[in-house]
Each structure stands twice: as C-alpha cells, then as structure tokens.
Amino acid sequence: MKKYYLVLTVILLAFAGSAIAQKKWSELSKEEKMMKAKSFSEDNHKYMKDSLGLTASQVDDIDNVNVCYLTTLDRIDRYGKTDANKEKFADYATAARSAQMDAIMGTDKRDRFMNYVANKLKKAGVSLD
C-alpha cells in the first residue's frame, strides 16, 4: 500500500520540483502546492488532448478514474486491517484502474502517456526505483 502512495507522492513532488527551481516542496505553502499540482494537471491535459488526440470527455473520464482510484486506495489503507490485505486490495484496484484507462484511451496511447510522465520525472531528477 505504501508503494502506491509513494509513487503518487513522487509524481506530485517531481512536477512541483521541476516547476520550482529554488524552493523545496516542503517549503511551499498549501496554496503554492495546489497551484503546482494544478499546473501539472493542466500540462497533462494539454498533452492528452494535443499529442494523443483525446477528447475533452475522455480527459474528464480519466480524471474521474484517477480520483476514484485515489479514494479507493485511501479506503483500503483505512480499512484493510493487515498489510497483506491492503496489498491484495490495492493490486485489484490498480488492475481495475489499468483496465479502465485502456478502455478510455487504448493501450498505445496509455503507453505513450506513461512514457511522457516518466520522461517528465527523469527531467525533474526523480527516480521511482
């Protein structure tokens, strides 16, 4: 379970870090963090629409899938009781999210988007290892 939160946190930190040259994420106010997260989201939406050719409806559906996924992980963390249960349920949620993303954007576009995010992380100096 911690692995999933770590990945999500690293992604947010990476994009915040790339946008803020001199300030660390921990030094930002809540408002600055929200602005950076919004900027990250806007960049991703632009890439999905302009480079991948997704419609506004598809982008909205992707946002909804991601919100549902994150809230599901939160509930799993709260109610999963054991780490083994949390891992098992998180794996199911991740597989369901992957299937939904493939249904919305197709596997080719999903792979291209994942490469785009990975390259942004690499440019920001963040490793997911």
The tens digit of pLDDT for each residue in 100-122 reads 999 999 999 999 999 998 888 77
**Is 56 contained in some domain?**
yes
**Is 24 contained in some domain?**
no
Q: Tokens representing 39? A: 């900027």
Number of domains present in the structure of the chain: 1
Q: Do 38 and 15 form a contact (C-beta atoms < 8 A)?
A: no
pLDDT tens readout for residues 60-96: 999 999 999 999 999 999 999 999 999 999 999 999 9
CB atoms under 10 Å from CB of 103, counted, come to 12
pTM of this prediction?
0.72
**Is 60 contained in some domain?**
yes
Residue 65 belongs to what domain range? 2-19+36-123
- Measured between alpha carbons, how far is residue 120 from residues 13, 39, 124 in Å? 11, 13, 6
Q: Tokens representing 65? A: 């899938």
Integer Cα distance of 14 and 8 in angstroms? 10
DSSP 1: -
DSSP for 46-60, written as a single string: HIIIIIS---HHHHH
Cα dihedral sign, 10-11-14-15:
negative
Q: Do 104 and 97 form a contact (C-beta atoms < 8 A)?
A: no
